[in-house]
Amino acid sequence: DQQVKQNSPSLSVQEGRISILNCDYTNSMFDYFLWYKKYPAEGPTFLISISSIKDKNEDGRFTVFLNKSAKHLSLHIVPSQPGDSAVYFCAATPSYNAGNMLTFGGGTRLMVKP
Amino acid sequence: EAGVAQSPRYKIIEKRQSVAFWCNPISGHATLYWYQQILGQGPKLLIQFQNNGVVDDSQLPKDRFSAERLKGVDSTLKIQPAKLEDSAVYLCASSSGQGRSPLHFGNGTRLTVT
């Protein structure tokens, strides 16, 4: 049973436009959410996170939105740059887990065209 | 700050053979994780260590997989005997273990079982 789902395996966006990556979860115990970015032949790198007490967190060009009632979060990248082309993973962890054991989604490959 | 080091980068073995992966976490990081990432999927947690103790190994196939973290620093993950379905990238990650500190991943070991 996939507790974290990224239903779009790929997304193509023009440089300068907005990229929106979506993520859905089923476990209502999840209360902390993260996005990781992964380039080929490298490990995932942390991008941005959000706690369930917030509905938005912003860091430069990256903004994560959380809709708890819909169990949905999204990552917005504005403006998109060719260097943003990578696989993006959504991850979640429950409130009772202080050890940050993350459950990952399957990833979305973002391609930003110059 | 040096990142998480993993070796080897690539390994090709035949089924029923054994293999071992090594991980050196970021200095001072108490928590260490091993994840398995099958092609096209998100990383899946295999085992989490806090110092040299196991916090969670519920998803580790213990009939063939074993892991240790002697002295609470380096860790090794072993598969014996390997199966075709073990072909994946094995990612090691570490975190300080304080609060919601993000995981830092190594570049992984790509295992191919033929």
pLDDT at A97: 59
Q: Say yes or no: A104 contacts chain B, CB-CB below 8 A.
A: yes
Beta strand B31-37 with B53-56: parallel, antiparallel or unpaired?
A: unpaired
Which residue from B minimizes the CA distance to A104? B42
pLDDT over 80 at B88, yes or no: yes
pLDDT at A100: 66
Which of B42, B95, B108 lies closest to A100 in CB terms? Answer: B95
Which of A44, A102, A107 lies closest to B45 in CB terms? Answer: A102
Q: Each residue of B60-79: pLDDT tens digit?
A: 999 999 999 988 899 999 99
Query: Which CA distances in Å does A42 have to A32, A38, A113, B105?
Result: 24, 7, 21, 9
pLDDT at A94: 85
pLDDT over 80 at B100, yes or no: no
pLDDT-wise least confident of A17-31, A67-81, B70-84, B87-101: B87-101
Residues of chain B contacting residue A64, judged by C-beta atoms under 8 Å apart = none
Alpha-carbon A14 to chain mean position: 19
- Would you mind telling me the total number of residues written for chain A in this entry? 114
pLDDT-wise least confident of A92-101, B9-18, B29-38: A92-101
What CA–CA distance (Å, rounded) separates B12 from B32?
25
Yes or no, beta carbons of A106 and B4 under 8 Å apart: no
Yes or no, beta carbons of A34 and B102 under 8 Å apart: yes
What is the average per-residue pLDDT within A91-106? 79
Selected residues 11-30 of chain A with any CB under 8 Å from a CB in chain B? none
Cα torsion A5, B77, B29, A56 to 10°: value is: 0
pLDDT at B35: 97
Yes or no, beta carbons of A99 and B106 under 8 Å apart: no
What is the average per-residue pLDDT within B18-29? 96
